[in-house]
């Protein structure tokens, strides 16, 4: 399930790296409605997975300057999604009771929140990322373990995507699955854009993600997990959220 949140903007600015602040806002809202559920999700989750993700903030009028997003009067949109109905119910209730988003003292008053209709997930779907996709593999560097962030061109990309989805599926549904999926990136889009990577700062670390449309084929159950809980890693920090790719992909403010 997922929510679409439409909010009002005034003349203000927020840091360009706001993902961690949004994540903190989500947990605060969950705690307001159900402290036990918020604690479970933060401390344990579903075998370590939080099973939720959210999009970047989409502003009607904004531009980037000196490491900040300068926002003008208008509207914005934000999407949040989860495999857990408890998550959506608690977050929805909190937003209804306190209709605003707060980021470092900047308030966005919420105009509308609604549960979106769920698309029929089949064995072939076309998605576009609305927050960067993070995929990595562990590597050893001078005796220390670190992570190598992958792009669609990397050999281990498909295996890493599949392994992550299978673990999420097993963690949430409590059963094993042997199926797989295959992601076919829109190479024409990637060639036109030239650069699809984004470097995002989360507290004192940097995370590298990619943004591109793709066709995914394979098990609908795994595809649904990716659609609702996010593809790739660090979903609860606002990574790996997708929307169904239509002919018209604007947000229609």
Give the pLDDT confidence of 18-31 residue by residue, as tens digits. 999 999 999 999 99
Tell whether 90 is covered by a domain. Answer: yes
Answer yes or no: pTM beyond 0.85: yes
The pLDDT assigned to 47 comes to: 85
Q: From the CB of residue 64, how many other CB atoms can be counted at a distance below 10 Å?
A: 10
Measured CA to CA, the distance from residue 209 to residue 206 in angstroms comes to 10
Domain membership of residue 14 as a residue range: 2-115
- What torsion do the CA atoms of 241, 247, 250, 252 make, to the nearest 10 degrees? -110
Measured CA to CA, the distance from residue 116 to residue 66 in angstroms comes to 35
pLDDT tens per residue, range 178-221: 899 999 999 999 999 988 999 999 999 999 999 999 999 999 99
Nearest to 108 by CA among 28, 15, 9, 5: 9
CATH number of the domain at 189, please: 3.30.70.1900
Structure tokens given for 213: 């449309």
Same domain, 29 and 81: yes
Residues of the chain with pLDDT under 70: 247-253
Same domain, 141 and 195: yes
Same domain, 96 and 140: no
The pLDDT assigned to 249 comes to: 52
Q: Which residues are catalytic?
A: 27, 42
């Amino acid at each position: 399930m997922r929510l679409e949140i439409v909010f009002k903007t005034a003349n203000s600015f927020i840091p360009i790296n706001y993902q961690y602040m949004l994540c903190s806002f989500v947990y605060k809202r969950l705690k307001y409605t159900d402290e036990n559920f918020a604690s479970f999700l933060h401390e344990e989750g579903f075998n370590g997975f939080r099973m939720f993700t959210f999009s970047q903030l989409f502003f009607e009028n904004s531009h980037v300057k000196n490491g900040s997003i300068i926002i003008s009067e208008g509207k914005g949109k934000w999407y949040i999604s989860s495999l857990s109905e408890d998550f959506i119910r608690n977050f929805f209730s909190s937003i209804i009771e306190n209709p605003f988003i707060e980021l470092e003292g900047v308030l966005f008053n919420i105009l509308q929140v609604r549960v979106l209709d769920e698309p029929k997930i089949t064995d072939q779907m076309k998605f576009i990322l609305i927050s960067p996709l993070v995929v990595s593999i562990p590597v050893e560097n001078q005796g220390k373990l670190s992570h190598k962030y992958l792009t669609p061109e990397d050999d281990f990309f498909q295996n890493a995507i599949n392994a992550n989805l299978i673990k999420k599926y097993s963690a949430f549904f409590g059963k094993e699955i042997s199926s797989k999926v295959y992601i076919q990136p829109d190479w024409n889009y990637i060639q036109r854009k030239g650069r699809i990577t984004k470097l995002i700062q989360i507290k004192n670390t940097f995370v590298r993600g990619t943004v591109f449309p793709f066709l995914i084929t394979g098990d609908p159950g795994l595809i649904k997990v990716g659609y609702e809980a996010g593809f790739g890693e660090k979903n609860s920090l606002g990574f790996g959220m997708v929307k169904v790719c239509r002919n018209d992909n604007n947000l229609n403010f």
